[in-house]
Structure formats: C-alpha cells, structure tokens
Structure 1
Amino acid sequence: MAAKYADVVGTAPADLSARKLPMDDTPELRQALVEGEPHTLLMTYVHLSGDEAMLDIFAPHLKSPYAYPPEQIPADLIEDLRARLLHVLTTPGAAMDGDISETLMHRMMTVGLAEEVEDEFLPLLYDQIGFRPELPRRERKDRKPAPAGFKVLVIGAGMTGLAAGVKLAEAGYDWEIVEKNEEVGGTWWENRYPGVGVDTPSHFYSFSFALNSEWHNYHPQGTDMFAYLKRVADDYRLRPNIRFNTLVEKLVWDDDAALWNVTVRRKDGSEEVIRANAVINGHGPVNRLKWPSIAGLDSFEGVRLHTATWDTSIDLSGKRVGVIGTGASAAQLIPAIAGDVGELHVFQRSRHWVMPSPAGDDEVTEGVKFAMRHIPHYLEWFRFRIYWYAADGLYPNVLLDPEWPEDSPSVSAVNEAMRQFAIGHIEKTFANRPDLKEKLTPDFPVFSKRIILDRGPYFPTYLEPHVHLEQTGIEKVTPKGLVLKDGREIELDVLVCATGFDVANMMGDLEIVGIGGKHLRSEWGTEDPRAYFGMLVPGFPNYFHTVGPNSAPNHAAGQNLISECQVNYAIECLDWVNAEEKKALQPTKPAFDAWQKKVETQMVKMIWSHPRAYSYYNNSKKRNFLSWPWRLVDFWNECRGPRKGDFELL
C-alpha cells in the first residue's frame, strides 16, 4: 500500500504561507500587538527589521522567568516596540528583503532569553523551531532512493506512528501503520477522563514540521491534542495507509528471507500475516493501564473506573467519589470533578512536587492566535522561547553536585532553588492550613519523579470543605468502599484509580522473536528493558522500538522531539542499509554492552540515583530503565544517523 509523495504531503496545521507583508492596519492586528508576548514581539520585530539596536535597549530589562526579583520591562519600551512593529508590518518596503544573518539570529536568542545560547544548540533550534526545515529526503540529491517494495510496518498511530508515516512517505518507502483503535491519536484518543490534558506547553508539544497556531490553551487539553493529531493524519493524507481496529500480536524474523512476519488480528477475530522489511514500534509505554494492588479491589459494588478507560456516560453529580493516586492524571481529574461530586476523598499514596503554571488561566486569546496566524515569524519565536524554558534549560536540575550533602532533599544549589520555588507555591496556597502543608510537601528532590503542573485549580481544590486528602494507607477495598490502615471505613459510590501505566513492561503483550528463535521477552522480562540507544537490540534486525529504554526526556518536556528524532534515526539506518544494498542491520553485542555501560555510568551522576528518588522511572531493583540521562540536544545529535562501527549489516 505504498503512498506517493505528492499524495501525502498536504497543508501543515499552521498555513505559514498565509503570512504576507505588508498587512492591513486593522483592529485585529493592533489587538494582537497588545496581547502578544513581549519577548516574542521583540524577536519578531528585529527579525523583520534588522534593527539590532532594539536588543541593546531591551537587554538590561530581560530576565529568566525563574529569576528573582521578577522581570519588569518599562511600559514605554513595550509601547514603542508595538509601534515600531506595527510600522514594519503595515508599511510597504519597511521589512527587510530576505532573512537575517546567523550572527544576528544567535544574538537575538541570547538576548531574548537573558542567557547564553551555545553554538551547539543552533542546529537543533533551527530544526525544531521551524526556521530552516530540512529538505524532504526524496528531494535530496545525495541520497539513494528507497528501493521499490522495501516495506516498513509501523505499530501504532499515536504521535510517533504519525511522525513515522509522514517521514516514511517523504522518503519514498512503502509503509503501513497498524492501529488497534478505530482512530488515530493513541493515548490522546484513549484518555477521556475529565480534565485530561498535557503538561508540556502546546506550542512546543507538536511536530516541528506541522506548527499549529490554533491551540485554545497554552497547555493543550486532551481533546485539543487529539484534534491536532487527527488533523496531521488528514492534512498529510495518512489514512489510506493505516489499518484501524487491528492489533499486532506477534513479530517473527525470517532468517532466510530477512523479513519480519507480523501477525495481526482484526476486530472480527480473523488473523493475517504481513511481511515487512523493517518494523518501527510506536505503541508507546502509556497505554497499558495499571490497577493498584489492593486486597478486595474486585469486590467493590459501586462504579469502579481507571482514568485510562474512563466511561464518559458516568454521572458523578452528588456522588461520594474516591480517587486513588495524586500523580499527573489525578491532578487534572480532581479539580475537574470536585465541583460536581457530593464528597471527594483523595487517597495519596506518595507526595509529588507541584509547580504553578506560568501561563496563568492558560487560555490563548484571540489576539495571540491572530499573531500566530498572520504575523511572520511570531509563531516560530514563541515556540523557541517555550522550548528553551521547558527543555534543556531545566537540565542542571537533574545533575547531582558531588559536593552537595547526600541526605539533602535536593541535589545542587540550582535544584534547591527550584525546590524553594515549589515550596513557595505550597506556602502561598495553604498559608492557613498547616495540616495540608505537611501532607503535600515531599521529602525528595524536585525532578526525581514527574512534576505536577498546577494551572490554578489543583492545589486550591483541597481547601474545599467537601474534599478530603487522606494520607493513611488503604488496608482493603470492600463492597461499600475502603478500609484504611487506621481502621476507618469510608463509603463510596464511585472509586477512581488514577494509578498510571505499566511502563516497565515495554513489550506489553507483544511477542517478538528474532534471529534463531531468540525471544525479546527472555531479554527484557516484564520490567528490565535494555536497548542500544533506546531502540535496537542485537538479534532483532531492523526492529526499532521507539520511546524505548532510557530514551524518555524526564528532565524536561519534549516527547514530540524524541519521537521525531527516533523516526529520523530509523530512516537514516534504513537508508544506509539500502545504500549498501544490504537487507538489514543490527547493533553488535559489544556496541550494545558499551551503551549499557555508558548509560549506567552517567545515571550515577543524575538525580534519579538519589537515595530518596522513587518513581515509575525505576524498576523494582531501583534501576532507572526509562530516563535519558543527557540533554535533549545530545539526543538530537545522536539521532542524525547511525554510528556505523556499532552495527553489523546483513
């Protein structure tokens, strides 16, 4: 089911070609300049005008959003900037003809962020911010075309699977996506609990090749994220190459043919074996829900729900509701349902650090949307700023300072400053509730497990008189509710388990059999996955396990970047195989072992090795199987192509 390039590449979710100069001086444009983010307006103005002097004028007033005292830009400077930008946008010939130099762009980045942007970040920034999109592979003269009939099968039509579809089509490969659900979107189609959303900022949590100006919130709600991925599938015409309602059950490598035999099961129960030269597994780790191990859980006679399989027909009005868990899903669910329920009992199994959202009420105004749709370069510069402060700018927080006291609840001076910032949020919210302060203040370092983003409603929800935060452990579930370890019984009508996913079991129920009948389950078990560069395993040729072992950006936002990078890496590997007129590749055992050693050596230097660091990043032996222990820029650089000495070509 090969797709032609011309039939695949459609209009990206932000039609950047619509941004033309000069613009009409309209009330909508003036409102956009009033509502626009000042740093982004400055970058946009300098980009269009080349007026470098404005950087010198603004530089003394610009600070990091984490700086204290907070930044104060004089109002007259902002008004002058708006007037200058209005003139450039609406006056014929006022904008520069052509783009700015690399030197000026680099200086703009450094001044706008109030910190140095090292040269090593520039290629990544140009790529991810959308300033210099790469030429599609099919148009590159230095690349050998993909051979006819070389088929790549992609598992899953979530974020990674859709990126794979777009890029495989651009590269000219025969490709197909197999999706178990009836629609694209992956976790953003499956998760429908009230309040479901994303902690990553919207304008970064999207593909670099499909920037989106239409986000309703600065952190997308689940419905918005699903709508975005659905639109990508439609705009890039991916649907003809997606098999819906089809589950991949087994992969078996054919040694003689150098092909994967992929057994799939349709919704009607019928099976088919698909032959593929390569497999990109994009089924992700957050679609295998985990129920809590509590005695009597199945005995509950009320409504029992898991956030990952929410029943949207359930009416919670006036009900006595219990929520087990206070992680990311619970922090979104709790404020979303608190106003409807009669009584809400939250059972906290472990504390989490909670940070206030810098976006306030989180709504993107119409003026800002207008700026992103129509003002050249505004959307890209806004994404740049969001990316920097949500990504590698946070990396120092997860580095252990060897001189820092080991028994401290932080790991460095930088990390301690972030801890104090988070404590300030607790102190401010619960100034008159010392009991809640004690219950909600963690004793482990910030960033050693996933941080909760508070958009305003979460922490204040615990101040409501009908909301009860229970710290005592659960002894058992009964037909009528719960019994706590102190003997108290709490009767419930609805029990919600916001207890996450079985992330460590990265294979799920999939059976994978490689060279000579070697089973990947024997290598990984149910909680100890290991791979070369988070994707490849010796003995399993042309099998790319995306979002795999030690590839998660747990110091920052950026799963979208990881997905794009891994797809790029997989295609670069396949391009190399085909350029050499071979059939497959696999990492060598020495390269695999060396990579494991490299990860382990670095992990000792990371926050996740702190004695108080316990999270789903670690397996039962406290080995961190999930986190990428370096920066995102390092991941991006590694993904430019394979280290050929680490591989065997078949």
Structure 2
Amino acid sequence: MATSAPSRDIGASDAPHLTLQDSPELRRALAAVDLPVLLMTYVHLSHDEAMLDKFAPHIPPLSTGQQPTAPDDLVAELREKMRHVLTTPGAGEEAELPPALYAKIMSVGMGEPIEAEFVPLLLEQSGLGPQPDYSAKPARNKIPADFRMLIIGAGLSGMAAAIKLREAGYDYVVVDKNPEVGGTWYLARYPGAGVDTPSYFYSYSFELNREWTTYSPLGHEMQDYLVGVSHKYGIRDKIRFETKVTTLRWDDAAKLWHVTLIGKDGVEQTESFNAILTAHGPLHRWEWPKIPGLHDFKGKLMHSAAWDVDFDVTGKKVAMIGTGASGAQIGPSIAPQVDELTVYMRSRHWVLPAPLAGAVKVPEDVRWAVRHIPRFTEYMRFYVYWTASDGLWPGLVMDPEWEGNPTAISFANDMARQWAQGHLEAKLAGRPDLIEKLTPDSPVFSKRPIMDAGWFDMFMRDNVKLEDRQIERITPRGIRTADGEEQEYDVIITATGYTLKKLAGDLEIIGLNGRNLGEEWGDEDPVGYFGTMAPGFPNYFQIHGPNSGPNHGAGINLLAEAQIHYIIECLDEMVERGASAMEPLQEATDQFNEVVQAQAQRMVWAHPKAKNNFKNSKGRIVISWPFRLLDFWTRSRKPEFDHFRFTGSKDG
C-alpha cells in the first residue's frame, strides 16, 4: 500500500486557471456536475447574485431528500453563463467575496439558511478562505534557538502538525512506529478498507485533493494522498520511521521532557524535548476480542486491523465476528469470493442509505470539472461538509418533553430513525427474520452509524448467514454458540475495532511530582482540558484527547486542524511571555469538564439503551465533543490563557 514517492501532483496550490478553452470536455462537465455546486461556483466567479435569486425557489434543503427542480431553460442559462465566464478573458474574477455574499451563495446552494457565525469556519475548511498566517506574529522572532518539539505519530494529524509547526517557525522531530507515513491508512489493508467521510472533505483544508476516484476515499488512495503530502511539504527528513516511544518523563528543574525511544535497530536511547505533541490517535490500538479459546483455532485467524494481504479467502468457509464499520466494509467485499460467510453479530447498528459510499466512482466528467474549473473543488468540499456536519447536531440532543417512540430522543431523531428503518425494510424486503434481527433497539446516532455500501444487499445472498446467538468459545475447528452448537470454519475474521478509550495508549507519561497519566486515565477514564492538555503535565499536548471526537459528523481532520492551531497559539503565548512551561489549571480543567459532561448527558450517546465506545463503564462520555463542531473550532481560535499556569518566567 505504501509508496516511497508521490504518485501524482496534489493540492490547492495546483489550482486551475480561470480562463479555459471552450471544448467538448468543458461542456460535458457543465452538464454532469451537481446543480447547486455549479451555481455556487458560477456566482463566486461572476458575482451575479441575480442567479441566486432565480434558483432559490428551486433548491430544497437536503434534509427533505428532494432534488433541485429548476426549469430546463434556467439550467441551460446557468450552464451557458458559466461557459462564458470560463472561456472569456476578463469575464470572471477569482477574488475574496464579502462575508454576506458568501453566506448568501452557501444558503441558496444548500437550500437552507447558513448563519454568519459559520462563515469563517466554512471558508477555512472549504479552502475558499485564508489559512491562519503565523509568519507575522511577534513570537516568530523570539522562539529560542534550541526549542525542539517531539511529534509522536506520522498519520493524518501528526503530518498536519509537522507542516503547521514548520510554518510557525518551530523545530520538531516526528517519530512513527511504521516504515511509512499514513498511520491508520498505512495499516488498514483489509478488503474494502475506506473512509465513511466523503472524499472531497477528507483531506487537509490547506491541501485539497483533486484526484479522488471515488466519492468515499478508498484506503489506498488516502494513503497515496498522505505520502504525496509528505513529499510536497518536505517533512520526510524530519520523520524517524520504525521508531517507538516508550517513556516520557518531565524534568521540572530543566523544564524538559526526557524521552526514551527505540529505533529500528532496537537500540534504546534518551533525548530531551521542550514540548511533546502526541498524534498517534486511537485507531491503531487494536486487540483481539476476549473470547475463550480464540487462539486455539487451527484455521486462519485474522483481525481487520492486521490483515494478511497474502491470504486468499476465495472458496473458504468464513466466519466474521463484528458488525461495525470495518465489518460492514469487509463483508460485502469478500462475500462474492467465499464459499460461505457467517456474520456473528454482537450488537446491532443503524445503517444509513449512502448511495455514494464504498467504491462508487466519481464520473470522469465530474473529475474533469474538479481538476479544471476554478473554485469548483472548494464548493464541492463545502457542499459535502455541510451535508454531514452541524446540521445533524440537533438530532442528537435529547428533548426532555419527547413522548414518542422510546427508541428516539426527539422529533428530529425519530425522523432519522424512520428514514433508517425504511431503508432497512426496503433492502430486506421479504426477509422478516433479517429485519427483526437487524433492527436496533437504541436511538439512531447513539453509536456511529454504518454507511450502507452493500451491507444489507450482502445478507440477501444465498451464501451469507447472520448469526445472533452468543458465542460461548472458539474451538480448534470453529465457533461454539451458547446453546452448544458448533460450526466449523476455514477462516475466522475479527472485525472488532479498536481500544478507543485508553487515550494515553501504552506510553508511560510521568509529569509533575511523579504523576503517571496512564495510571490516572486508566483504560477508560481520560479527563483533559479541551481535549488537548492535562493539569500536571506541562508542555504536553495531545490531538484527539478526551472529549474531542467529532461524533455527529464531518471528519476528524477538521478537529485535528483546530487543535493544531490551538497548540500553536499556546506555544506562541509561552514564547511571548518568556516562559519555559505551561499547563492548564486544575480548577479550569474541572470547570471545563463540568460543562462538557453536563451537555454530554443530554446527548443521544448517554441514552440508557446506547451501547457505544464513546462512554465508559460508569456512563461518562469520554470520547465525544457534545457541542457543535463550530463551537470547538471557534474556541480553538484563541485559548483562554487565564486558565493556564506559566512557569519559568515572571508570570510563573
């Protein structure tokens, strides 16, 4: 999967030119692309607001499930005007627009009001607006020459941190246990591996990818993109591959972290850093399910996170344990090849219709538009982001007055449940046994839903069986259920996910006065400040820390970029003060968590029937951010520095 050189040109810096040649390719592209995206792009280039007014009555909100119904002559007028703008020098202009015009373009394009407070976030994340500029800040001239930061992990988040820290003038070293960048997408090699976030949003906002071949990124394309970014931004010489971190120990007298590393030669060494940024993420800490006898099995045993790419399942009798996101990608991918597939379901998931999920190809005419029409990619990115972001948030908030279906929490949530239930019943028509087995008894969104990329269709195959009996144990020949029946298999696949709640991972992290972060957080009870820091651990930053998960939509890339911005703001403040260390105050951390947990208990994840990886055994939500993504992004713009203790300066 990994490559050692970029496979193609990528990125926003390779943006199309405004003036194009009139050609059959252009005309086909204008006829093929989504009408709202074409409209928004045209008005951006032409400033022709009158076209917004003409189309506004014909573009319904996406939540209605209805398609635009503009008259043919109006659509033809739009396409012709866009062709003229693109082929006539001086007819269009690539310029920043007034915020009010951006809001109007986006509101009409989505068929619903987009409030002004969203516009700065949308401009940054779509690639339409400016990225944060660190070059002019006073801190640039004050960073100590020997200040050095350690970034742990060279996946999506760690690479973004490296790129942005370099822009901000900070020296760093990146270490990664793998021989290539990519993190999750280097490791995810199982059949059907991919992302359930739409392709055109799942990339860096500062480095848009114009080369997706499918509407949902396939794992190998995501990996190729990240490898390409690492070359383009020149960060590879700062990465030490096949290197593991075992211990981080804070030296308060020296105001340094002493770090124990083991290189690929197996030699252990200790180095010192002024600050630590962990970006290893939770999606690499997999473990075998705790099923008695698992390793007694004499056939082929594979975990989805450690797939043997050289093993061929063709013609085999296969059991798959797990019906989450990985299982829902693996199952439909291997079902046509195997002799038999039995899916052992431990818990039921809501499955949402997703006609563009999986390996659905982006038509070549649309890909031409993405490559060649200025600002088209940015508005497509905005379009797919808005369909799966804060618009979903109200449906996750419990309505205390709700007296309807007990497997819903509000009117909006019940509408989503009916939508998902209707999809299930339509796909499994004629199979009441499957409908009964696969209908969850918990509210939709109480755990991450599955995007249907052939999951329900798979169960209608003659060679696929759904088994909901409890597994008693794994035997040398197969699986025995609680009623004593044993089934023999050639292959057992465990698609049982990751250990999400152990956010310190396997690192030994020793802070002030010998405090051990791994022991304090344990396997399931992490408590931090803004998902980024923890009191007692100066200059220790974490991306995707406690309560920073985007569990109502969008992509983890948005929150990672927000946290990186926040971390750079913190470093700059420390430099400006002439301080050597900073940490959040315990009182501020307690207050932050009191507010977060109060809101979290109002969310669908806290529902009594909710079984998910977002909450611990005590019912405390430890993974999810319970407010809007906009609220997280806005808070990340400027830290509240009175919530911190600075030391090593007059402020200490």
**Counterpart secondary structure, 1:122:** helix
Pick aligned residue for 2:365 from 364, 367, 381: 367
Q: Does 1:414 align with 2:428?
A: no
**Counterpart secondary structure, 1:639:** helix
Partner Cα distance (1:146, 1:132) in 2? 28
Shift of 1:117: 0.9
Q: Following superposition of structure 1 onto structure 2, how do residues 515-530 of structure 1 map, counting pairs within 5 Å? A: 515-530=512-527
Contact 1:199–1:453 (8 Å) recurs in 2: yes
Contact 1:347–1:471 (8 Å) recurs in 2: yes
1:327 corresponds to: 324
2:551 corresponds to: 554
2:91 corresponds to: 94
**Counterpart secondary structure, 1:339:** coil
Contact 1:147–1:173 (8 Å) recurs in 2: no
2:534 corresponds to: 537
Partner Cα distance (2:424, 2:225) in 1? 34
Q: Following superposition of structure 1 onto structure 2, how do residues 569-608 of structure 1 map, counting pairs within 5 Å? A: 569-608=566-605
Q: Does 1:276 align with 2:281?
A: no
Paired residues in the alignment total 639
Partner Cα distance (1:407, 1:424) in 2? 15
Partner Cα distance (1:634, 1:98) in 2? 28
Partner Cα distance (1:97, 1:567) in 2? 29
2:249 corresponds to: 252
Q: Partner amino acid for 1:403?
A: E
Give the stretch that moved more between structures: 144-153 or 188-197: 144-153
**Counterpart secondary structure, 2:474:** strand
Partner Cα distance (2:122, 2:68) in 1? 24
Identity %: 48
1:148 corresponds to: 145
Q: In the superposition, relative to structure 1, how do residues 267 and 16 fare at CA in structure 2: closer, same or farther (>3 Å)?
A: closer
Tell me how large the CA RMSD over aligned residues is: 1.6
Question: Residues 260-304 of structure 1: CA distance to partner in whole angstroms, max 9, x if unpaired?
Answer: 001111122201112110000001011111221211111100000
Pick aligned residue for 1:444 from 442, 457, 476: 442
**Counterpart secondary structure, 1:230:** helix
Q: Partner amino acid for 1:42?
A: L
**Counterpart secondary structure, 2:560:** helix
Q: Does 1:429 align with 2:427?
A: yes
Give the stretch that moved more between structures: 213-222 or 268-277: 268-277
1:295 corresponds to: 292
Shift of 1:75: 3.3
Q: In the superposition, relative to structure 1, how do residues 141 and 348 fare at CA in structure 2: closer, same or farther (>3 Å)?
A: same
Partner Cα distance (2:242, 2:98) in 1? 50
Partner Cα distance (1:480, 1:338) in 2? 21
Shift of 1:507: 1.5
Q: Does 1:385 align with 2:383?
A: yes
**Counterpart secondary structure, 2:62:** coil
**Counterpart secondary structure, 2:385:** helix
Q: Following superposition of structure 1 onto structure 2, how do residues 84-483 of structure 1 map, counting pairs within 5 Å? A: 84-96=81-93, 98-140=95-137, 144-359=141-356, 362-405=360-403, 408-455=406-453, 457-483=454-480
Q: Partner amino acid for 2:433?
A: D
Q: Partner amino acid for 2:269?
A: E
Question: Residues 311-359 of structure 1: CA distance to partner in whole angstroms, max 9, x if unpaired?
Answer: 0011111000000000000000000000110000000000001011142
Partner Cα distance (1:600, 1:461) in 2? 39
Contact 1:14–1:373 (8 Å) recurs in 2: no
Contact 1:406–1:610 (8 Å) recurs in 2: no
Q: Partner amino acid for 1:298?
A: H
**Counterpart secondary structure, 1:66:** helix
> Could you state the TM-score of these two structures normalised by the residue count of structure 2?
0.96
1:7 corresponds to: none
2:643 corresponds to: 646
Question: Could you list the runs of 5+ residues in structure 2 that have no partner in the other structure?
Answer: 1-7, 648-652
2:3 corresponds to: none
Q: Partner amino acid for 1:191?
A: A
Question: Residues 120-139 of structure 1: CA distance to partner in whole angstroms, max 9, x if unpaired?
Answer: 11111111111222353124
Pick aligned residue for 1:75 from 65, 72, 75: 72
**Counterpart secondary structure, 1:109:** helix
Question: Could you list the runs of 5+ residues in structure 1 that have no partner in the other structure?
Answer: 1-10
Partner Cα distance (1:153, 1:18) in 2? 33
> Could you state the TM-score of these two structures normalised by the residue count of structure 1?
0.96
Partner Cα distance (1:596, 1:223) in 2? 38
2:5 corresponds to: none
Contact 1:16–1:373 (8 Å) recurs in 2: no
**Counterpart secondary structure, 2:192:** coil
Contact 1:148–1:173 (8 Å) recurs in 2: no
Partner Cα distance (2:193, 2:455) in 1? 13
Shift of 1:16: 4.4
Shift of 1:524: 0.7
Q: Does 1:611 align with 2:646?
A: no
Contact 1:12–1:210 (8 Å) recurs in 2: no
Partner Cα distance (2:168, 2:236) in 1? 17
Contact 1:504–1:527 (8 Å) recurs in 2: yes
**Counterpart secondary structure, 1:183:** coil
Q: In the superposition, relative to structure 1, how do residues 199 and 430 fare at CA in structure 2: closer, same or farther (>3 Å)?
A: same
